[in-house]
Chains A and B, each alone.
Chain A
Amino acid sequence: MGRYVIRRLLQMIPVFVGSTFLIFVMVYALGDPVAALFGERAPDPATAAQIRRDLYLDHPLWQQYTHYMAQIFQGNFGTAFTGQPVLELMGSAWPLTIRLTIVAIIVEAVIGVILGIITGLRRGRSVDTGVLVLTLIVVSIPTFVSGYVLQFLFGVKWGVVNPSVSPAASFDELALPGVVLALVSLAYVTRLTRTSIAENTRADYVRTAVAKGLPRRRVILRHLLRNSLIPVVTFIGTDIGALMGGAIVTERIFNIHGVGYQLYQGILRQNSPTVVGFVTILVIVFLVANLLVDLLYAVLDPRIRYA
């Protein structure tokens, strides 16, 4: 187990290098960011040349990349076009996004698994159909629609919550954005749990457990659920990163200045220090989340062993 973890950690190094390079190339491929700094005016060639020289943009791609990496190892993540250091942006954006993601994960895991158990145990009943239709409606409504609708209803019409999140962004403020963010994934979690449950209801160990006369609650929680959670855990694990990076729309609607928002700004303005810095950390989050998921497999299914 220990060696497995160390091996996985070592694998992160090439992934880190590979992904930073890939993202760097992609931002580079977007084109020259300098013209846009001048707004609707044609860039002044002399000023533009100065800015390019300052940003190291007058060098070939590989030199830009090595320069950037060298800077990173000195703890300098570069600056955004507003003159703000990227490290400072990360310091303010990540805590917000992590809190938002925690809320969303809890929402999708708790509600999704509960709905999944109910529908999985009552397949073909009206409850099952009802939840199916509900999740479908949720899937087919894009986040920007559900976000605006819920914000208007809860924030303005009923005045239950603030429509926007304050800079402090406490957990209770993040409840509504968390739900909006979790909505799409909720359908996946529900359906996955339902399928697993339905499948495992007929597994021998469940039959055995029932035959032994164990109480239903215990059968469901200890035997059925534990074994049904593997695909669900996989999904939630991969979803952590997607939620963090994919919160662009939600963060925008609820005025959360988190990772999604900063990333979007960086991409639109083609600021590679911002984009590469944020994405690199996102990739690391994926890697760690996946490692945890794989370790959880072993916990949930004792038959799986890692050498």
Chain B
Amino acid sequence: MRGPARPKWAVCVVAVVLAATACGGGGRVGGPNAVVRASWGDPQHPLEPANTNEVQGGKVLDMVFRGLKKYDPRTGAAQNWIADSITSPDQQNFTVKVKPGWKFSNGEPVTAHSFVDAWNYGALVTNKQLNSSFFSYIDGYQQVHPGTGNPTAKTMSGLAVKDDRTFTVRLSQKFSTWPDTLGYSAFYPLPRAFFTDHAGWLKKPVGDGPYEIDSYTRGTVMKLRRWDGYTGADKAKNGGVDLQVYTDSNTAYTDLQAGNLDLVDDIPTTQLRNVRKDLGARYINQPAGIIQTIAFPMYQPRWSGGDTQKVRQGISMAIDRASITSRIFRGTRTPATDWTSPVLGPHGGFKAGLCGAVCAYNPAEAKKLIQEGGGLPGGQMKIGYNADTGSHKVWVDAVCNSINNALGNDKACVGAPVGTFADFRNQITGKSETQPFRAGWQMDYPLIQDFLQPLYYTDGSSNDSHWSNTEFDRLVDRANAESDRARAVSEFQDAERILAQQVPAIPLWYQNGNAGYSANLTNVALNQFSVPVYNDITVS
């Protein structure tokens, strides 16, 4: 399909060079004020920082807001951004100093109050913010967000404003890397307008980031424009971004090919085979902080008791990750050999091969281990997945075929689709899922802690296996209290080694971020959350 696509772009390029217009859809002129047309999905919740827990809404917040910290798009390192300094004598009490001169795009200054008010709003249970658990480390969270009943306080006692530029935070436990979590969108500051005219703010959110929202037609398009009053170092290098809502990533890709769109940040699996010939060098495939696993229902005795860890190890060894990632995902996934992500880097805690033989394909050993462990419970296993999003069927079937081939039984493993994500999540959180199920984790912030604690710590917020191991919990606690980063990382890795023995979840592969863009864009890159770094894009 190279023929039809190329000449059109060639014409486009010529047209742009000649400063002509009208190519593809609508007039396109390059330059610092030109607008990027990018694909988007409808955000699932109102666009409040502490209420946005999915990537599409997060995308907008990351353009409109800046927080205390910002993750470097390339290395993932948490850099002070609005924070002047965050200091702590004991890993539990922190003093935050805010840089002067920061403003919201409506002219309000960004002060210590902007953060403290926003965090108190996010934590208060009656505000129904989906990400309120991010504030649960702060002292006084129990009072504003009790498990049941009405809150006994409106604000968290652990937060105190010292002056316009300083506030202090007292945590309920030691957490040395806590400041590094502050780049997450739940911790963004909010202007007074958010509290005084909430409905108006929701229609057109106002933040302190490099872009401001020009217009927002819900479900259709959000037009973001460069905010010229922005004083941060990461000023937008284009005139703005039009985020266009697509019902289907395939359609967005087709529109990119037809020249109606400049940037697609979700290349559908079905186009991966063509993407190189369609786009050439304008295709990005780079690691992102996402890992896919198969989790076991550890609350089910038949999957957790006795020698069943041998069964779980055996299943892991029966999966031919290399073939599946190359044949089905065309290199947009990398076989996993630990439970974190390569984007953390070796210093951040990623350790290739930590999983050892358990994650290496070895069908003969797999069959032996499964037999030693008592065979598959009930003689057959299923892999649960939701069929409504994300084309999971194709890889679940491939994983099952791989297991079946290793065991020499064509019905040992079958996929078990569930109609909706909601139903799927209800089965898991209600512990009514009796079979292994797919699990995916996209990091909130680039820390090894985020790949381990929420997922495998006893009663962790995403511990879907409901696995519990006192030694693992102890090591995580110790790592969190450690002030030295290298020692903390190595203690987290010690905890991770317990996962390799017990295998409450099988690591499958690390997921890459994918994007494609048109010939008139340059400087397109994805950050470690697989979101394009919009402010760096230039349009020619």
Chain B residues touching A, range: 35 or more
**A35-B426, A50-B125, A83-B202 given as contacts; is B54 within 8 A of A163 (CB)?**
no
B464–A42 touching, CB < 8 Å: yes
Shortest distance in angstroms between A33's beta carbon and chain B's nearest beta carbon?
Answer: 6
Residues of B within 8 A of A252 (CB): 247-248, 251
B162 lies within 8 A of chain A by Cβ: no
A253–B250 touching, CB < 8 Å: yes
B247–A261 touching, CB < 8 Å: yes
B145, B248, B420: the one within 8 Å of A253 (CB):
B248
B46, B422, B463: the one within 8 Å of A268 (CB):
B422
A47–B128 touching, CB < 8 Å: yes
Bound Cα distance A37, B147 (Å): 18
Residues of A within 8 A of B251 (CB): 151, 163-164, 252-255
B46, B130, B440: the one within 8 Å of A83 (CB):
B46
A164–B255 touching, CB < 8 Å: yes
Bound Cα distance A267, B125 (Å): 27
Binary flags per residue of B213-255, CB closer than 8 Å to A gives 1, else 0: 0000111110000000000000000000000011110111011
Residues of A within 8 A of B147 (CB): 45-46
Interface positions, chain A 45-102, Cβ under 8 Å from B, are: 45-47, 49-51, 54, 81-84, 88-89, 92
B255–A163 touching, CB < 8 Å: yes
B4–A37 touching, CB < 8 Å: no
Residues of A within 8 A of B454 (CB): 41
Residues of A within 8 A of B218 (CB): 82, 84, 88
B42–A164 touching, CB < 8 Å: no
Bound Cα distance A31, B130 (Å): 19
Max count, chain B CB within 10 A of own CB: residue among A155, A162, A164: A164
B43 lies within 8 A of chain A by Cβ: yes
Bound Cα distance A37, B252 (Å): 25
Shortest distance in angstroms between A159's beta carbon and chain B's nearest beta carbon?
Answer: 6
A43–B247 touching, CB < 8 Å: no
A217 lies within 8 A of chain B by Cβ: no
Residues of B within 8 A of A256 (CB): 247
Residues of B within 8 A of A32 (CB): 422, 426
**A82-B42, A159-B4, A159-B258 given as contacts; is B426 within 8 A of A41 (CB)?**
no
Binary flags per residue of B261-291, CB closer than 8 Å to A gives 1, else 0: 0000000000000000000000000000000
Bound Cα distance A41, B132 (Å): 12
Residues of B within 8 A of A157 (CB): 1, 4
A38–B247 touching, CB < 8 Å: no
Shortest distance in angstroms between B233's beta carbon and chain A's nearest beta carbon?
Answer: 32
Binary flags per residue of A140-166, CB closer than 8 Å to B gives 1, else 0: 000000001001100111110011100
Residues of B within 8 A of A158 (CB): 4
Residues of B within 8 A of A41 (CB): 53, 133, 454, 461-462
**A156-B4, A159-B8, A253-B250 given as contacts; is B426 within 8 A of A40 (CB)?**
no
Residues of A within 8 A of B202 (CB): 83
Shortest distance in angstroms between B464's beta carbon and chain A's nearest beta carbon?
Answer: 7
B46–A82 touching, CB < 8 Å: yes
Residues of A within 8 A of B426 (CB): 31-32, 35-36
A257 lies within 8 A of chain B by Cβ: yes
Nearest B residue to A38 via CB reads B130
**A47-B129, A261-B247, A268-B388 given as contacts; is B255 within 8 A of A42 (CB)?**
no
B425 lies within 8 A of chain A by Cβ: yes
A156–B257 touching, CB < 8 Å: yes
Max count, chain B CB within 10 A of own CB: residue among A36, A88, A251: A36
Shortest distance in angstroms between A142's beta carbon and chain B's nearest beta carbon?
Answer: 15
A270 lies within 8 A of chain B by Cβ: yes
- How many A residues, CB 8 Å from partner? 53
Bound Cα distance A162, B244 (Å): 15
A33, A35, A254, A269: the one within 8 Å of B429 (CB):
A35
Binary flags per residue of A228-255, CB closer than 8 Å to B gives 1, else 0: 0000000000000000000000011111
A36, A49, A257, A268: the one within 8 Å of B220 (CB):
A257
B254–A54 touching, CB < 8 Å: no
A204 lies within 8 A of chain B by Cβ: no
B195 lies within 8 A of chain A by Cβ: no
Residues of B within 8 A of A39 (CB): 53-54, 130
B164 lies within 8 A of chain A by Cβ: no
Interface positions, chain A 163-184, Cβ under 8 Å from B, are: 163-164, 167
Shortest distance in angstroms between B60's beta carbon and chain A's nearest beta carbon?
Answer: 13
A92, A155, A253, A267: the one within 8 Å of B219 (CB):
A92
Binary flags per residue of B51-62, CB closer than 8 Å to A gives 1, else 0: 001100000000
Shortest distance in angstroms between B215's beta carbon and chain A's nearest beta carbon?
Answer: 12
B462–A40 touching, CB < 8 Å: yes
B462–A42 touching, CB < 8 Å: yes
A30 lies within 8 A of chain B by Cβ: yes
A267–B130 touching, CB < 8 Å: no
Residues of B within 8 A of A164 (CB): 246, 251-252, 254-255, 260
B423–A42 touching, CB < 8 Å: no
Residues of B within 8 A of A89 (CB): 219
Bound Cα distance A43, B422 (Å): 12
B125–A47 touching, CB < 8 Å: yes
B258–A82 touching, CB < 8 Å: no
Bound Cα distance A152, B147 (Å): 53
Binary flags per residue of A9-44, CB closer than 8 Å to B gives 1, else 0: 000000000000000000000111101111111111
Residues of A within 8 A of B42 (CB): 82, 265
Max count, chain B CB within 10 A of own CB: residue among A88, A151, A158: A151
Bound Cα distance A36, B429 (Å): 10
Residues of B within 8 A of A269 (CB): 44, 420, 422
Residues of B within 8 A of A163 (CB): 251, 254-255, 257-258, 260
Nearest B residue to A53 via CB reads B128
Interface positions, chain A 245-303, Cβ under 8 Å from B, are: 251-257, 261, 265, 267-270
**A36-B425, A41-B133 given as contacts; is B219 within 8 A of A46 (CB)?**
no
A255–B219 touching, CB < 8 Å: no
Residues of A within 8 A of B31 (CB): none
Nearest B residue to A265 via CB reads B42
Bound Cα distance A54, B130 (Å): 14
Residues of A within 8 A of B422 (CB): 30-33, 35-36, 268-270
Bound Cα distance A81, B430 (Å): 22
B148–A255 touching, CB < 8 Å: no
A46–B146 touching, CB < 8 Å: yes
B160 lies within 8 A of chain A by Cβ: no
Bound Cα distance A152, B4 (Å): 11
B126 lies within 8 A of chain A by Cβ: yes
Bound Cα distance A33, B422 (Å): 6
A31, A51, A88: the one within 8 Å of B423 (CB):
A31
Shortest distance in angstroms between B254's beta carbon and chain A's nearest beta carbon?
Answer: 4
B128–A156 touching, CB < 8 Å: no
**A40-B462, A167-B221 given as contacts; is B247 within 8 A of A257 (CB)?**
yes
A-B contact pairs, 5 of them (CB 8 A): A41-B462, A49-B148, A156-B5, A163-B255, A257-B220
- Chain B interfacial positions (CB closer than 8 Å to A): 1, 4-5, 8, 25, 42-46, 53-54, 125-126, 128-130, 132-133, 145-148, 202, 217-221, 245-248, 250-252, 254-255, 257-258, 260, 388, 420-423, 425-426, 429-430, 439-442, 454, 461-464
- Please name the 4 residue pairs, one residue from A and one from B, whose CB atoms are nearest each other, closest first: A36-B422, A83-B46, A163-B254, A157-B4
Known contacts A36-B425, A81-B45, A167-B217; 8 additional CB pairs below 8 A are A32-B422, A38-B53, A40-B440, A40-B442, A42-B429, A148-B250, A255-B246, A257-B219
